[in-house]
Amino acid sequence: MDRQSRRLKKLTEDLVEASKASTGNISAHLVPTDLCELVHQAVAEYEEKLGKAGLEAVITAEEPVYGIVDGNLTWRVLSNLLSNACKYSLPGTRVYIEIFKKGKYALISMKNTSREQLNIAAEELIERFVRGDSSRSTEGSGLGLNIAKSLAELQKGKFSLSIEGDLFKAFVKYPLAKEPTIQKEETVLAQDVKEAAETTENKE
């Protein structure tokens, strides 16, 4: 009964979030954000769950990669993908996460090996309740991927899936942002301080 109660509670919460996300009733504060740092934070948050599922996260990144995103909403997208990986991945395998630039976009890809055979189109996996209906052994609502897609689109991004055999791939694409100028200004300031110090030493 406790399990059924938890499942119902999770379903209710996800239904509310899915409704808000799909109708745009969630505000998005879009600012240049280091996606590499965000991914590392999300994986660190899921370290225990990944360990219990027998999974290892492998992160590859061109650091830094900045996207114009809402940090909280993008963290939720990453959380849903990592939760999905923990529930449905084959134990003893790796979850590969890559952050990279492509043209005018910043991309995050997540790949994992499915525990069960994926005899379904990628588009259908995003539809509501697919996971929940086909995998009653988990406490998922089947709304995670649908919510992730809606949240990505709220940030003017794109969310897509692809399936190759048992390999599940998720891609999130956001507008690319330039590195914050404050870092460059700090570098210039540090160089100016160094040159000033050297000039002082020479005078002395």
- Is 189 contained in some domain? no
- Is 136 contained in some domain? yes
3-state SS string over 76-119? HHHHHHHHHHHHHECCCCEEEEEEEEECCEEEEEEEEEECCCCC
Checking if the pLDDT of 186 tops 60, the result is no
- Is 111 contained in some domain? yes
- Is 198 contained in some domain? no
Query: What domain range includes position 150?
Result: 2-179
- Is 126 contained in some domain? yes
| CA–CA separation, 179 and 32 (whole Å) | 8
Which is higher by pLDDT, 88 or 133?
Answer: 88
Average pLDDT over residues 1-24: 51
**CB–CB of 99/84 below 8 Å?**
no
pLDDT, tens only, 13-40: 544 455 555 555 678 889 999 999 999 9
| CA–CA separation, 33 and 201 (whole Å) | 40
Average pLDDT over residues 62-87: 92
Checking if the pLDDT of 167 tops 60, the result is yes
The dihedral sign for the CA sequence 99, 100, 103, 109? negative
What is the domain-level CATH number for residue 28? 3.30.565.10
pLDDT, residue 62, reads: 75
| CA–CA separation, 146 and 128 (whole Å) | 6
Amino acid, single-letter form, for residue 183: Q
pLDDT, residue 33, reads: 95
pLDDT, tens only, 110-159: 999 999 888 777 777 767 545 444 443 444 445 678 888 989 999 999 99
| CA–CA separation, 143 and 81 (whole Å) | 11
> What is the number of H-type helices and E-type strands within the chain?
8, 7
- Is 196 contained in some domain? no
- Is 202 contained in some domain? no
pLDDT, residue 202, reads: 52
Neighbour-count burial for 52-81, b at 16+ CB within 10 Å, e otherwise: ebebebeeebeeebbbbbbbebbbbbbbbb
The three-state secondary structure class of 164 is strand
Total of domains in the chain: 1
| CA–CA separation, 183 and 37 (whole Å) | 15
Average pLDDT over residues 60-64: 85
- Is 190 contained in some domain? no
Confidence of residue 109 (pLDDT cuts 50, 70, 90): very high
State if pTM tops 0.85. no
